[in-house]
């Protein structure tokens, strides 16, 4: 059976006889007669689950694409910035500022573009800020804090960076949310 991802958690499954069925994996639903009559998981649903588990087709919410970070082919989010698992940043992750080498803690990852977020009262966008020259203007903005020092994480000042300026590290500093400022 050949499985083709169609997006939004839907997959086409073609059998040897040339029939094609549509599986909605999040809903555990299939258009085949067996599933419709019995109301239980059919071989098409199981086949899609196997293909997702083996990494042959993207999981629901993902599409095959090019990662903006490493430029490799990967499964990236269907909605949102196209970063693979190794390049994507999440709150609580430790990252390295490519410009200074400093360790920073990711407080939040926004949907806002670097050319649309102003840095403090400078009148400049994150993209126009002098130390961010050369990074994509449409990069999502990542808010970080410097994790070492006297104040609690919630009390620390947040800084905005283009996503590409930050290099993900293998380890996370904290597991919990950093909190809202």
How far apart (Å, rounded) are the C-alpha atoms in residues 97 and 158?
14
Q: The tokens 């050319």 sit on which residue?
A: 115
Query: Residue 5: helix, strand or coil by DSSP?
Result: strand
pLDDT at 180: 46
Straight-line distance from the first to the last Cα atom of the chain, in angstroms, rounded to the nearest whole number: 51
pLDDT at 175: 45
Name the pTM for this structure. 0.67
Across the chain, which has 181 residues, the per-10-residue mean pLDDT values are 93 94 96 92 95 95 89 88 87 92 92 92 92 92 86 82 90 47 42
pLDDT at 178: 47
pLDDT at 68: 86
Using an 8 Å Cβ cutoff, are 84 and 69 in contact? yes
E strands, 71-174, in order: 73-77, 93-97, 103-113, 140-145, 159-162, 166-172
């Amino acid at each position: 059976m050949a499985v083709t991802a169609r997006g939004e958690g839907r997959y086409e499954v073609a059998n040897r006889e040339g029939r094609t069925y549509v599986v909605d994996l999040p809903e555990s639903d299939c258009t085949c007669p067996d599933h419709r009559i019995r109301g239980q998981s059919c071989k098409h649903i199981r086949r899609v689950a196997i293909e997702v588990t083996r990494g042959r087709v993207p999981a629901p919410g993902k599409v095959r694409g090019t990662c903006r970070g490493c430029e490799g082919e990967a499964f990236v989010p269907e909605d949102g910035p196209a970063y693979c698992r190794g390049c994507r940043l999440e709150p609580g992750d430790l990252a390295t500022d490519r410009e200074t080498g400093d360790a920073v803690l990711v407080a939040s990852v926004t949907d806002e573009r670097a050319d649309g977020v102003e840095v403090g009262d400078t009148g400049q966008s994150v993209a126009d800020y002098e130390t961010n020259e050369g990074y994509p203007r449409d990069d999502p903005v990542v808010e970080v804090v410097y994790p070492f020092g006297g104040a609690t994480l919630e009390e620390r000042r947040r800084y905005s960076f283009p996503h590409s300026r930050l290099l993900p590290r293998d380890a996370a500093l904290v597991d919990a949310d950093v909190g809202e400022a």
